[in-house]
Chains A and B, each alone.
Chain A
């Protein structure tokens, strides 16, 4: 069945460092891909999405590009801030219905 694999955390970076969180997926169809974020004490929020190959999703300085040839959707940010500390989930939806999530990557940003 469909699945998402993302790099395990925790990931600890200094403020202003470059961030990459790797995500690969397995799907039978042509899924939409997502990054969700969960800040401490808050609910899941959609960070960005891409619906077809070569699409780039972006929001709040974060970017991810839908790479069909490598079945990947890596999350990047050029300069992280302490406020980016959160758990990040890569996810897919193959049918437009349920979302399948990865296990999450906890990110700590040190001032």
Chain B
């Protein structure tokens, strides 16, 4: 069990640029979640997948945000035309819906800074 990994760990970009983050879940986990955490706040839910199907999207996820999980394994989160308000830590978590505990395990996050 290598845990949830996220890349890159840090991303600095200029306003208006597009960015893409990757999340690799724990291998047997069928659910994958994206959250966003701003300074001094708790994580806020963005979206989640069961296998390759995107089952729920938060109203926080504007149309500039898109997430995919094409083969039910890794996932990408893309932000188009970044804004300074997008600066945050983007967290990925995974879980096994079929297990008794169904615990979400979090990755280390990708810290985005939009200049």
- Provided the pairs A42-B108, A46-B103, A96-B102 are in contact, do residues A101 and B40 lie with their beta carbons within 8 angstroms? no
A99 within 8 A of B: yes
CB-based nearest B residue for A4: B42
- Provided the pairs A103-B40, A103-B42, A104-B41 are in contact, do residues A44 and B55 lie with their beta carbons within 8 angstroms? no
A45 within 8 A of B: yes
Interchain pairs with CB closer than 8 A, number? 46
A102 within 8 A of B: yes
Interface mask (A88-110 → B, CB under 8 Å = 1, otherwise 0): 01010000111111111000000
The docked-state distance in angstroms from the alpha carbon of A36 to that of B55 is 24
Q: How large is the interface on B (under 10, 10 to 19, 20 to 34, 35 or more residues)?
A: 20 to 34
Stretch from B16-24, B43-51, B67-75, B78-86 at the A interface:
B43-51
Which residues of A are in contact with B by a Cβ distance under 8 Å? 4, 36, 42-46, 49, 89, 91, 96-104
